[in-house]
Structure 1
């Protein structure tokens, strides 16, 4: 046996009290099938969509066939999931007439991008044709994709807790793994609610900064309210939120996956906040500044982020674009052109 300080450091176990999988070198596997089944049902059942035609609601997941698992090798996570699901929905027209139907998703898997999912919507046998079927095929399908996207996000963070163990410096490496860029882009706003963040390493964290611009067909006052109203935050994130809309007030979004504090608030003009993903190093926050610029018929939103941990820049930018900008436009109808 090699003496301390000799040999391949991947096999050193003395630096961990539990001597478990040091430097994440050994292969570990976790079955996520049962957890995934419950997660998918919780995300889909109760999902609603409305429009001029009326409203629809997903009432039951009647078929859920497939499996999911996560493998860790050399500190890299490899995700596998493959699902074939069928769910029931009910619709209510503006005149109060009830309709029933189903939708099928046969190809939810790690090999398919979320935009490539096949979502087949139909009415139950003997049901007359209704515009609500078209509502489910358009706006309903978009919400279904969002819910399934949240499942993939949770699988890649919430269910992976403990698989990547701290290395010799006490910091767990980011769960990049050999997934495709499309798979990585789906891992955005996520981290387990109700669980503690990784411990601080006690060292300075390398950081980066970025800026984004987006336009919305809304007034600065309307857009400002989206970021400070608990009701509106819950509406576009489709998840629990707690917000204290005052200087020094804290916010907690997506069930605790995003945390922060308002450090400066200029109504309808500027918001400055301490902002973090729950799985960033303990107590590390980025400083995010939102500027609301009146452009006559629309508002330009400028986002300046400083102190983002290195390696998190692309993920964080994509998260803001998809789970803030796109979700706000889709939920409140504030769509506008991209810069």
Structure 2
């Protein structure tokens, strides 16, 4: 078996357009944060919304908090974006003397929500008949117009900003459309991890019978790549194929697989070890196991060992099976960490 960078065609640099990422195999990432802020300001600042004698416009993009990135993995583009926007707007009724001012909040612009599901809250400063009429116009018509601008941001993120992430293959001068598959970080489908239904009841004074498990698995990747797969939210989203909540820091919380797995990071040693408090939703209330994930990089592969203590005895076999199925196999499938080409 070849050592890192030796013999494996994915690591060989040739005179070819994709020499830095042969066949687009490796996970590559492009930070879309600064570009997104500029693009959102361009689309929204001074955006006019006019109909039936009511004339409004977005006067200022007051706040843009969040992040965005475009990622390439095996010729697929994976997009991650999450934004919280606060806008100022003003408007008037034709023939009216008052300029009505207000604010708009958009707290959940992300790849997990369809444009129609994005919350847009409209408020006004002041009162009176004209103010209420303008607010009603912005609520009923203006929000749909703003959603069109947000949809244009998403389109340009996927079609314009991401150019260059998918590289031509050997013998090609450009990327063929058939070679590109564009998906969101959720891979356009949700995976419902089968909950473990415990037959044991959580009763005060009753000791829960628990056991420990240990599982080892070999991955064709570097230690850092596997560590990132469990700590970078866009990569965790990619292999779990669903919405992820995660703060990868000591004391940070996480929730995966539709909330079926929750916990807290106890210790993080970059590229080497992850320790978590970890539980299934259906375990007895407030019962957490402790998981230690050791990442041991070898010359030509990485060995990952999972040690889990305080697993309810009735759930040991299912827990071991789910580690292999929903973690190990999914990570190999999502990032190509299973075998050399």
- TM-score, normalised relative to structure 2: 0.48
Between structure 1 and structure 2, the one with the greater Rg is 2
Query: Which has the higher relative contact order, 1 or 2, with Cα contacts under 8 A spaced 6 or more apart?
Result: 2
